Amino acid sequence: MARRPRLVLPAVPLHIIQRGNNRTSCFSCEADYLVYLTLARQYAAESACQVHAYVLMTNHVHLLLSSGSKTGPSVLMRRLGQHYVQYFNRRHARTGTLWEGRFRSCLVEDERYLLVCQRYIELNPVRAGMAGDPAHYRWSSYRANALGAEDNLVTPHLIYTGLGMHEGERRAAYRDLFREAMPEHLLAQIRQAGKANAVLGAQDFVDDIARKIGRPGGIGVRGRPKVRSGT
């Protein structure tokens, strides 16, 4: 069966998920995380991609990014994947593949879903029981977005910068979004969209994307969150 074409549009945020082969570990020590982030910064810049949020879990990664180029995300992930695997295999005296095939992705409506998707990504360690608070997990963008920690990989999206008039106000508003747990229906929507290479957004946004790509149906998931909600 032919693979479903990946949905990528310039300037439309993209949620990317890449898992280790057979759910095996992609990161075995601190140096692995640091090398991955260094490579991600390099190839994001070279491929004209802006990363808004990320998390590096033990056996998979999430990135939320935008690009002015339709091919930018694929170029980024190809270069990042290849060079990281070369490093990982050398360091850990192994051979063969590390990643589970192609990365998965979904387009994300910025106005109503971008901050929801950022929260989903940065709360991964909490849901996995690896941290009680996203601020306690080192390998994510939360501390940059919520606390102002220096992170050269993160470029704030305009939706994020619209949370306040200055950095302190924006960070406080962003932290407020994490005060309540994400409801199960939103978690299910995000997971479904990522697995299906679909569009995460309200119906009007899904219809607009369908018109742009010439694919009349079957590219979206149902439901919509409250705008910039803390739920």
pLDDT in tens, 1-58: 345 667 889 999 999 999 999 989 999 999 999 999 999 999 999 999 999 999 999 9
What does the pLDDT read at residue 23? 87
Q: What is the pLDDT of residue 213?
A: 84
Q: Please write the tens of the pLDDT for every residue from 130-174.
A: 999 999 999 999 999 999 999 999 999 999 999 999 999 999 999
The pLDDT, as a whole number, for residue 215 is: 72
Please indicate, yes or no, if residue 34 is contained in any of the structural domains: yes
Look up the pTM and report it.
Answer: 0.92
Structural domain includes residue 115:
yes
Q: Is residue 9 part of a domain?
A: no
Domain of 191, CATH number, reads: 3.30.70.1290
Whether residue 7 lies inside any domain: the answer is no
Domain of residue 149 covers: 14-210
Is residue 216 assigned to a domain? no
pLDDT, tens digit (0-9, with 9 covering 90-100), for 166-218: 999 999 999 999 998 899 999 999 999 999 889 999 999 999 999 888 876 56
Residue 5: inside a domain = no
The DSSP string of the chain is -PPPPP---TTS-EEEEEEBGGG--S--SHHHHHHHHHHHHHHHHHTTEEEEEEEE-SSEEEEEEEESSSSHHHHHHHHHHHHHHHHHHHHTT--S--B-SSPEEEEE-HHHHHHHHHHHHHTHHHHTTS-SSGGG-SSBSHHHHHH----TTB---HHHHTT-SSHHHHHHHHHHTTSSPPPHHHHHHHHHHHHHT-EES-HHHHHHHHHHHT--SS-B-S--PPTT---
pLDDT-above-70 percentage for the chain: 92
Asked if the structure places residue 229 within a domain, the reply is: no
Number of domains, the chain: 1
pLDDT of residue 227: 41
Q: Please tell me the predicted confidence (pLDDT) of residue 2.
A: 47
Using one digit for the tens of pLDDT, what is the confidence trace for 82-102?
999 999 999 999 999 999 988
In a domain, 223, yes or no: no
